[in-house]
Amino acid sequence: MSSARTAGLIFIAICLAASYTTAHQQRRGKPPAKTAGAEAKDPREEAAKLFEEGQSAHQKGELEKAVGLYREALELDPSLWQAEFQRGAAYFSLNRLAEAKASMLGALKQLSEFADAPEARGPSSRAQTLLGEIALAESNPVEAEKSFRRALELNPQAPRARAGLAEIMLGGGKYAEAIAEAKAAIEAGDERASIYAMLGEALTLSGKYDEALTSLNEALKREPKSAIALRRRAEVYIARNDLKAAIEDLRASAEIEPDIPNRLRLAGALATAKRYDEAVPLYQRILQDEPSNSEARTALATVMIESGKGAEAAAQLESLIKAEPNRADLRAQLAELYLPSHPEKALEQYMTAAKIEPSQPAHQIGVAASLVKLGRFQEAVAASRQALSQNPKEDVAYFARTNLATALFKLDDFQNAAGEYIRILDFQRKRGDRKRTAITLYFLGICLDKLGDYEQALKAYEQFMALASADNKLEMDKVNLRLPSLRRQIKEGKGNRKK
């Protein structure tokens, strides 16, 4: 989720604090003894004062100061769960996740002493919600879901818990559930731009473009510089074949977050619109910043060919290589130009580049891609696994996995191919790549079907059909032919059922 998931926004009601503190102190022990001639300072009063100072610092964004004040308050009065709660919130904003979790668990332990008192349910729900957000930040959706659901048991209207569940469902590809939870969060009062963007994203991935556009427009009203909302709205425009509007949104998104994935999306849209004079220099700048980026290199070669400059570019690269034969980057660029129509020449250039720079996995990935094109699948498997053994970055490893999955599929090794397709899906869903996600689901469905896992195959096919476009007509026809018999086999109890 966006920066809207900041614990600094989670402040509990002070009126509850007073009632709890009084009741809690009565349980905890006797008031401090008076000294002769004067009253000793009540440590609880001092703790309350420090807590208020901590809240003030917290609201001003002075998080380290707030943490210190909350700690001092707790030293004077360990029963002050409000300070423990707020300390956990401050830790979370500081990305000190282990400490945030410990504080929140401490607050929950103290709140549990009030049993199921109505006054305790609200703060306990908030604490469970924050535990869920901590778990999400730790990339632990299973624990996060448990906390969010517990928060909703305590308070069925908890909007941030609903939003957290929506994020988990979206990340797991459960778009219908994500839509339901996001709508519930909005109905419960969540008006953040991030929840509208999330709803728009889930609706986009479900192919519900009109609804998605409405939600994304709402998100951008609240936060005009929401890069993710702009990206998702661009997808809707692309689906509607409005490339001009899509390019405007992608350009705005890339200006807000000028990272390579955003620039690649913009370059891809420009190429689709045949605005090659803008796409080519953008791809070239990306390669200057990240020479190993396989996606940019492949796309650049494709654009050069489509724009009728493939032969010109190849001739120029061949001339440069003659002058500088040890330039691996030039050989890789030439190989990309050769790959579509001359994979044997591409293989030669990639292999030479790999010898020059053996530690660069992108060259080995190119070798594998060439071998796949040539139908030398067993060799492609070995080359792909060699590239993956170098632990490349996720976006580089993605291309190694696509080659590996294709080669394994062609070798009828459906078990291992399915594992690779699942990993590929995770990456594509993170990137919001609807088109590639659809075709990956198609091949995953075939693998599961061949393995006799009919129920999972059916799920994959149905998700494919939900995402497929006119470009997938052939695959859609094949799936439509298979579905009736597959459903019948499931009904008859055939296939490998999970126990």
Residue with token string 């423990």: 84
Q: What is the pLDDT of residue 114?
A: 80
Residues 226, 219: contact at Cβ < 8 Å?
yes
Distance from chain centroid for Cα 47:
41
Instruction: Please report the pLDDT score of residue 31 as a whole number.
Output: 47
Tokens of 69: 């004040």
One digit per residue, the tens of pLDDT, for the chain of length 499 reads: 333 333 333 333 333 343 344 334 433 444 444 444 445 578 889 999 999 999 999 999 999 999 999 999 999 999 999 999 999 999 999 999 999 999 999 999 998 888 677 788 899 999 999 999 999 999 999 999 999 999 999 999 999 999 999 999 998 889 999 999 999 999 999 999 999 999 999 998 888 999 999 999 999 999 999 999 999 999 999 888 899 999 999 999 999 999 999 999 999 999 999 999 999 999 999 988 988 787 888 888 889 888 888 888 898 889 889 989 999 989 998 999 999 999 999 999 999 999 999 999 999 999 999 999 999 999 999 999 999 999 998 888 999 999 999 999 999 999 999 999 999 999 988 877 888 999 999 999 999 999 999 999 999 999 999 988 888 999 999 999 999 999 999 999 988 765 4
**What does the pLDDT read at residue 18?**
39
Question: How many whole angstroms separate alpha carbon 201 and alpha carbon 210?
Answer: 12
End-to-end CA distance of the chain: 35
**Which residues contact residue 472 at a Cβ distance below 8 angstroms, ignoring those fewer than 6 apart?**
438, 439, 442, 464
Question: In this predicted structure, what is the pLDDT of residue 498?
Answer: 53
- Tokens coding 488: 């019948």
Enter the tokens of residue 79: 């029963």
Q: What is the 3-state secondary structure (H, E, C) of the chain?
A: CCCCCCHHHCCCCHHHHHHHHHHHHHHHCCCCCCECCECCCCHHHHHHHHHHHHHHHHHCCCHHHHHHHHHHHHHHCCCCHHHHHHHHHHHHHCCCHHHHHHHHHHHHHHHHCCCCCHHHHHHHHHHHHHHHHHHHHCCCHHHHHHHHHHHHHHCCCCHHHHHHHHHHHHHCCCHHHHHHHHHHHHHCCCCCHHHHHHHHHHHHHCCCHHHHHHHHHHHHHHCCCCHHHHHHHHHHHHHCCCHHHHHHHHHHHHHHCCCHHHHHHHHHHHHHCCCHHHHHHHHHHHHHHCCCCHHHHHHHHHHHHHCCCHHHHHHHHHHHHHHCCCCHHHHHHHHHHHCCCCHHHHHHHHHHHHHHCCCCHHHHHHHHHHHHHCCCHHHHHHHHHHHHCCCCCHHHHHHHHHHHHHHHHHCCCHHHHHHHHHHHHHHHHHHCCHHHHHHHHHHHHHHHHHCCCHHHHHHHHHHHHHHCCHHHHHHHHHHHHHHHHHHHHHHCCCCCCCC
187: number of Cβ within 10 Å: 11
Q: Which domains does the chain have, with CATH numbers?
A: 192-283 (1.25.40.10), 291-411 (1.25.40.10), 412-499 (1.25.40)
Cβ neighbors of 193 (< 8 A, separation 6 or more) are 2, 4, 219, 220, 222, 223, 226, 229
pLDDT for 287: 87
* 285 contact partners, CB below 8 Å, separation of at least 6: 263
> What pLDDT, on the 0 to 100 scale, is given for residue 39?
56
What pLDDT shows up at residue 115?
Answer: 67
Rounded to whole angstroms, how far apart are CA atoms 329 and 316? 14
Is residue 67 within 8 A of residue 37, CB to CB? The reply is no
C-alpha–C-alpha distance, residues 28 and 328, integer Å: 72
